[in-house]
Amino acid sequence: MKRSILGAAARRAGLALAVGAALFAISSCRQTDGADGGKAAVGAAAEFAFRSSVESPPPGESVPFKLSANYPTAAPAACAPADCPWLTMNVNFDTSFPPKPVSWQGGGWDRYIASILTYVRKGQDPNLADQVGFRPDIGGGGPRWFNVPWMAYDPSAGREYRHGTTNERTAHLQDLIGPDGKPLVADDSVGAVHLFAGMSDACKGRYPEGFETWSVGYYNPQGGYAIGRSIPKDGVPKTADYMGSQMLAGLPFPAGTVVVKVLTTNAPPECVPALKGSPEWRVNRHVLGSKHGKPSYMCARAVQVSRVVQIDVAVTDPRSPTGWVYGTYAYDGNQPGATFWDRLVPLGVQWGTDPWTFPAVPDGAASLPLQQSVANPAIGTGNLYEHMGCRGRLAGPVDNPQSSCVSCHASAYAAKPGAKSVMGQNVPPSFGFDGLCTAYSADNASYFQNARPPQSFAGGKYPDAMSLDTSLQLEVAMQQYGQYATGKAPEPCVDSAS
């Protein structure tokens, strides 16, 4: 659930500003050609909005992915308890003070997230095989899962043609392998340096720039209905009044919305043992070349193996203070089970940003224990390693440990349609505030605040930014539409040393 906005120099400086679903400028890569080698930023908006990928497959090649954009035109019926049992489960969203201990099993959160995975995996390939991918149409009533449009405009990081994945945060070995098999404690979540047991010199030398993450997300019919109302068939986003504020016409997402994201990494099992037996997807991703004699990801793409490392889920739940609950699963090849889905391990759930916990408040006596994020106590055993997020808030293996699932997605805002969103100027950055997770500040207090649409981003810095109800995929879509609408083509692709 997380994206990067900095190049290699910033990553080496340790900023690692990254999250799911947004665009990652790898080695300052940009190119001017659009899909099929044509020049960008010409033609109807719908052509760019609803194309399946930035580059078409080679002639005659059959691929698993085609953009699923036949959105429901009528509001789907409420999700029945038999299909969405989590909506009626007795879990505690209480925010009373002093905070009460949050229990994984006793609180019912293990059953909550398990029921979401049961919904997600229904009708999917048992091993999420490369030739099948994630099925949007599981039979019966037609497509059940839908993609967000306007994510195939930027040719550097936009949708590739085999599985519809987009380029996200580059993870590093310290994100995926813990010291002696032990997870980092909350205070160690940022800036910790460890010796990684079992990591060979060859592994360290082959990937000094880390491992690319390529991911694809889907929404169920309730979410698809909202997307279709927000970005109709002409490809031009539409807004409407919601409680006195302008929002995309389909937002906020209706009750029963489910989001799933499949995240892949090019880390091999010899570097990350938990990836043994993980589905090997072939995706059209950046090649690993050389700059100044050192390995580096280049602008050029080629079809290469990426392994499924993480499954993120999110659901609307009106009982949550944010209206959402986020959950993360990590793949562990050493777990028992006959299928890929059986070997997924739940890492935890999160339904708020814990605004009374550092760095939203000063450390020490003012910082209270987490109350809106709970981790599976089994993580850190066997080959599965999980770094968690800021001060123990939820984050997945390839996510930025300085943030968390909900706080990252809570930054999903956009300029009004037709204007270009610029993070840190007219919309909040998903990362980028100074001292994120290391020091209390007004910016960090804003970043770790709970909000529900149509509330503005806390702190007052971005009063005109429009809430996207936590959807970073829609944020990318709006960013790309704004780029198109203002006549700005993607920047040239240049493999620089910086």
Tokens (6 digits) for 262:
């499949």
Residue type, 102: V
By C-alpha distance, which of 278, 262, 263, 265 is closest to 383? 278
Count CA within 13 A, CB hemisphere, residue 96: 5
By C-alpha distance, which of 327, 442, 131, 203 is closest to 433? 442
- Ranges of residues in the chain whose predicted pLDDT is under 70: 1-43, 99, 142, 178-202, 204, 380-385, 490-493, 496-498
For residues 150 and 483, the answer to whether their CB atoms sit within 8 Å is no
- The DSSP symbol for 140 reads S
Look at residue 447 in the predicted model and tell me its pLDDT. Answer: 96
Look at residue 4 in the predicted model and tell me its pLDDT. Answer: 38
Look at residue 493 in the predicted model and tell me its pLDDT. Answer: 65
Look at residue 139 in the predicted model and tell me its pLDDT. Answer: 83
Cβ neighbour number for residue 251 with a 10 Å cutoff: 23
- Report the distance separating Cα 136 and Cα 247, nearest Å: 27
Q: Where are the beta strands (DSSP E) in 222-362?
A: 239-242, 245-248, 258-265, 280-291, 294-316, 324-331, 344-350
Look at residue 203 in the predicted model and tell me its pLDDT. Answer: 73
pLDDT per residue over 57-100, tens digit each?
999 999 999 999 999 999 999 999 999 999 999 998 877 777 67
